[in-house]
């Protein structure tokens, strides 16, 4: 059986391109989207390119949908080889270009963490039994260099001035989960890493970003074949936590 991969938030942007590249390498890719209409349209696009993909419904904060997806993968494929936790948000209530630590609301923090962190942790934990059935399971948590406390505290870094607190803190939490889960699974067949895709032209990254989606997806795709664990990586180079 080919590798079975699940990409969350796969109907557009980085998720769509990650699904495309993994499928082009021969994986069967389950493309998860909270919107059935947009998800089905994305699947049809890749099927039109001759790729082996399947639409699955998933809102990462919806426990019933998470459980249904886990049951579907178990009954249909019996394993999961690659999990790309790509789904994430930059909350519309948080200005991206300023330091929001003193003004961001509890509501914005909770909603950001629900998607970017709590939902990611929950679905990963639910899928661990299926990843354990893979000969070489891979978990890729799509993070951001904005979640690097080392970078954020370095005033000489060009990234340090970008401080939307809810978003950055949620990605720092994702990185902490990567470190902890990699350690918990160090004696298993599962590798866990964080990916910084770069500043990419997406709905989140905006049109001023220097990278196109195919370039941004490369790190996640590379990590789907990595033989190391517990690292924060961009294009093969390690980033400080």
Domain limits, the chain = 4-91+116-145+167-238
Per-residue model confidence (pLDDT) at position 223: 98
Catalytic residue among 77, 163, 167, 191: 167
pTM for the whole structure: 0.94
Per-residue model confidence (pLDDT) at position 97: 67
Residue 194, beta-bridge partner list:
141, 232
Q: Is position 171 annotated as part of the catalytic site?
A: yes
pLDDT tens digits along 37-73: 999 999 999 999 999 999 999 999 999 999 999 999 9
CATH class of 4-91+116-145+167-238: alpha beta
Average the pLDDT over each of 4-18, 153-167, 195-209 and give the range with the smallest value: 195-209
Q: How confident is the model at residue 88 (pLDDT cuts 50, 70, 90)?
A: very high
Catalytic residue among 28, 138, 163, 171: 171
Q: How confident is the model at residue 205 (pLDDT cuts 50, 70, 90)?
A: low
Q: Is position 77 annotated as part of the catalytic site?
A: no
């Amino acid at each position: 059986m080919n590798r079975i991969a699940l990409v969350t938030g796969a109907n557009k942007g980085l998720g769509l391109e990650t699904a495309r590249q993994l499928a082009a390498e021969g994986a069967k890719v389950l493309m998860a989207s909270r919107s059935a209409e947009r998800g089905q349209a994305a699947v049809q696009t890749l099927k039109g390119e001759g790729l082996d993909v399947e639409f699955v419904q998933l809102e990462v904060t919806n426990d019933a949908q998470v459980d249904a997806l886990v049951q579907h993968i178990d009954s249909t494929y019996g394993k999961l080889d690659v999990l790309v936790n790509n789904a994430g948000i930059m909350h519309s209530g948080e200005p991206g270009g300023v330091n929001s630590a003193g003004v961001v609301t509890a509501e914005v923090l909770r909603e950001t963490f629900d998607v970017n962190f709590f939902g990611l942790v929950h679905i990963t934990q639910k899928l661990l039994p299926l990843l354990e059935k893979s000969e070489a399971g891979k978990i890729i948590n799509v993070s951001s260099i904005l979640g690097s406390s080392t970078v954020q505290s370095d005033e000489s870094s060009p990234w340090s001035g970008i401080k939307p607190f809810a978003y950055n803190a949620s990605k720092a939490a994702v990185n902490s989960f990567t470190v902890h889960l990699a350690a918990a699974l160090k004696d298993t067949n599962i590798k866990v890493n964080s990916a910084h895709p770069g500043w990419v032209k997406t709905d989140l990254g905006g049109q001023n970003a220097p990278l196109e989606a195919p370039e941004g997806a490369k790190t996640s795709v590379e990590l789907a074949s990595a033989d190391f664990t517990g690292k924060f990586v961009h294009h093969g180079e390690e980033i400080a936590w």
